[in-house]
Amino acid sequence: MSAPQVHILPAAADAVPLLLDEIRRTIAGTRLPLLGFATGGTYTAMLVALGAELAAGRLDPKAFVATHLDEYLGFAPDRRGGMVHELCEACPPLRDMLSRGTFLPVPHDGSDDGLRAHAARLQRAGGVQLQFLGIGRNGHLAFNEPGTPFESGFHVTRLAETTREDARRRFAPEEPPHEAATSGIDTILQARRLVLCAFGANKAAAVRAMLQGPETTTCPASVLRRHAEVLVLLDRAAAAGLEAGAAAP
Ligand code: F6R
**Looking at the chain, how many residues does it have?**
249
- pLDDT beyond 50 at 210: yes
* pTM check: above 0.75: yes
Q: Residue 248's pLDDT band (boundaries 50, 70, 90)?
A: very low
Predicted local confidence at residue 244, as pLDDT: 77
| CB 133 within 8 Å of CB 142 | yes
Q: Residue 245's pLDDT band (boundaries 50, 70, 90)?
A: low
Query: What is the CB < 6 Å shell around ligand 1?
Result: 38-42, 69-70, 83, 134-136, 140, 142
Residue 125 Cα, ligand 1 centroid: separation in angstroms? 24
Residue 137 Cα, ligand 1 centroid: separation in angstroms? 9
Pocket test for ligand 1, best of 69, 170, 188 (most atoms within 8 A of CB): 69
pLDDT digits (tens, 9 = 90+) for 53-63: 999 999 999 99
pLDDT digits (tens, 9 = 90+) for 159-204: 999 999 999 999 999 999 999 999 999 999 999 999 999 999 999 9
What domains are defined for the chain?
5-235 (3.40.50.1360)
Residue 68 Cα, ligand 1 centroid: separation in angstroms? 11
- pLDDT beyond 90 at 225: yes
Give the number of other CB atoms < 10 A from CB of residue 97: 21
